[in-house]
Amino acid sequence: MSLSRDNALQTANILTEALPYIQKFTGRTLVIKFGGNAMIDEQLKQSFARDIVLMKLVGINPVIVHGGGPQIGELLEKLNIDSHFVDGMRVTDNKTMDVVEMVLGGAVNKEIVSLINHAGGKAIGITGKDGQLITARKMVVTRKNPEIEVPEIIDIGHVGEVEHINTGVIDMLTSGDFIPVIAPIGVDEEGNSYNINADLVAGKIAEVLQAEKLLLLTNIAGLLGRDGTVLTGLTTEQVDDLIADGTISGGMLPKIRCALDAVKANVRSAHIIDGRVSHAVLLEIFTDEGVGTLITNQAN
């Protein structure tokens, strides 16, 4: 009997801890990049879907942008299409782009939509090509070559950058009480399709929507210091310093730059959170402790 009472008290404490956060974020937009283990593990996928539905029910407007690199790689392997990478980016020829569109715009996108709808939400899946949501431009990659004076330009195919976001598409969905689930595929003025990094798309969407928060799910506990502990409560100036002294480097650097750019563009905060933790999104938004790294402007 006492154990049941203790559990009930613990549950009540959790709910009351969440209350001020719910009050603060009601009516606000949160952009969430869904990727990593959270997209692969069945239990984590289910908990993510429930988190999103709960957010919508308490008046928050979640906008989901998803990746799908492992799923793309798996299908390319089954089709005997070789994968090549330049600076961590998949070289995307015409055949590879067809697979990217099938996986991101088809299988992965529709699975996320189905999970959210099954949990009681109203999700609609789109790609950046729908309604001209994402206008893209071809990404130019250069490398210094000691044998020539000018940098060498490397063609990595249909890999793009964001040129423009059509916010009207997202506004139409959120105002209709739908949850947008966006595949990071853009199109240029000539109709060419481009595969765009999902973190980059999420960051740009957060910027143009002036979102309250940008949340990037990862496969690590957050931004780690030199001693291996999770750094949180960072200002943009502190993050700049961590980049300058080499604490942030390698594969984590593009993700951190994406979060940093969003906050500098007046997104109120960015979060690098551990997608391996069940209900990571709710824990980061509605609890005092959180489960990752928080980045804000000093003025916030």
Distance CA 256, CA 278 (A): 23
pLDDT tens readout for residues 61-82? 999 999 988 888 899 999 998 8
Distance CA 138, CA 183 (A): 17
Distance CA 71, CA 104 (A): 9
Does 151 reside within a domain?
A: yes
Nearest CA to 118 among 50, 41, 30, 44?
Answer: 50
pLDDT tens readout for residues 218-264? 887 777 777 777 778 788 888 888 888 877 777 777 888 888 899 99
Asked if 123 and 176 count as a contact pair (C-beta separation under 8 A), the reply is no
Does 290 reside within a domain?
A: yes
Number of domains in the chain: 1
Does 20 reside within a domain?
A: no
- Write down the pLDDT at residue 300: 44
User: In the predicted model, what is the mean pLDDT of residues 140-167?
Assistant: 78
Does 37 reside within a domain?
A: yes
Does 3 reside within a domain?
A: no
Asked if 256 and 243 count as a contact pair (C-beta separation under 8 A), the reply is yes
- Write down the pLDDT at residue 149: 60
Does 30 reside within a domain?
A: yes
Does 117 reside within a domain?
A: yes
Give the CATH number for residue 272: 3.40.1160.10
Do the strands 185-187 and 193-195 form a parallel or antiparallel pair, or are they unpaired?
A: antiparallel
Structural domain for 180, as ranges:
26-296
Report the share of the chain in percent with pLDDT over 90: 49
DSSP 82: -
Does 261 reside within a domain?
A: yes
**Angle CA 256–262–263, to nearest 5:** 90
Asked if 204 and 165 count as a contact pair (C-beta separation under 8 A), the reply is yes
How far, in Å, are 21, 91, 135, 268, 293 from residue 196 at the CA level? 32, 12, 11, 24, 24
